[in-house]
Amino acid sequence: MLHPSVIEAERRRRRAAFLTLFPDSGPLGREFYQKHLEFFAAGATYKERLFMAANRVGKTVAGAFEATCHLTGRYPHWWQGRRFENATDGWACGTNSQTTRDVVQGVLLGRSTGQGMVPAEAIMHTVAGRGITGSVETVWVRHVSGKNSKLGFKTYEQGRRAFEGEAKDFVWCDEEPPMDIYTEILYRLLTTKGLAWTTFTPLLGMSEVVMSFLEPENDESRISKYVVQAGWKDVPHLDEEEKRKLVANTPRTRSKHARRANRRWAQAQCIPLTKRKLWCRIWPFRNTGREPSAWMWVGIARP
């Protein structure tokens, strides 16, 4: 009979997705997640990364996995991305209080603290958030160095001022932040030479943040940014039946975003027509005919 401590250790291992993701072999083996591996590896070279991926591809899981690596210092043997030797101080950010609690906090800590990506035994202390039941404002995580890493949860609805002041080692943005907040985040990483990674499906079209990655304004900006684009064909965990159900329950205006996420769909709403800042913005609308219709606005930004 196995000793109770061995049984409990195995239960903890199975509860922690962090210890079982991206295995060496099997139907969900690491070799089938090349886009995720590319995204992780780019962190060794690039300060800013964007994982622009379709729904259900696992972009949020990828963001949480990397955050857990940096918080705990437990890097898998295959890891080629950035490594922090010491305990870290970071932020995990979401759109509003509810989505940050349900999605970002949910995947990192679980519905109940200790059931998410961060291994339960590594969670040292949490401080409850204010304003919404069940939210966490800050969590301290045991790092392999023996010290504790710190992670704060932020929301874009707090506004730019909430992102001022503190230096950070890393910031993970789940879903697209407003440009003023994203710029403030980069200032938090200036003195630490930290990392920023963003994970989202480009439903807002060619926004300022997307544009800053796809069309950097200068060479200095270009060498610090990296984009990985992934669709359903790039992952093995969605079978054909699941895909059909997802498409059937997705409005036509969003079905391509649900399946794929690349430059073409990001540009569907706002398209740069020339290098002289000539823009075309399109608003699709329903009508009673068979052909799709849309309003189109064209403008030029003058110096």
Look up the pTM and report it: 0.80
Residue 283 lies in a domain: no
C-alpha distances in angstroms, 254 versus 202, 240, 266?
A: 10, 19, 11
CA distances, 135 to each of 97, 191, 197, 199 (Å): 8, 30, 22, 21
79 pLDDT more than 70: yes
Instruction: State residue 207's pLDDT score.
Output: 81
| Pairwise CA distance, residues 94 & 73, whole Å | 23
pLDDT for 198-220, tens place per residue? 999 877 667 889 889 988 888 88
The pLDDT, as a whole number, for residue 250 is 66
**pLDDT band at residue 50 under the 50/70/90 scheme:** very high
Q: Is the Cβ–Cβ distance between 142 and 132 less than 8 Å?
A: no
Residue 176 lies in a domain: yes
Residue 256 has pLDDT above 80, yes or no: no
Phi, psi of 73 (to 5 degrees): 75, 10
Percent of the chain whose predicted confidence (pLDDT) is above 90: 57
Q: Per the domain annotation, does 193 fall within a domain?
A: yes
In a domain, 229, yes or no: yes
The pLDDT tens digits of the residues spanning 92-132 come to 999 999 999 999 999 999 876 657 999 999 999 999 998 88
In a domain, 276, yes or no: no
Q: What is the CATH number of the domain that holds 161?
A: 3.40.50.300
- Domain total in the chain: 1
Mean pLDDT score of the chain: 83
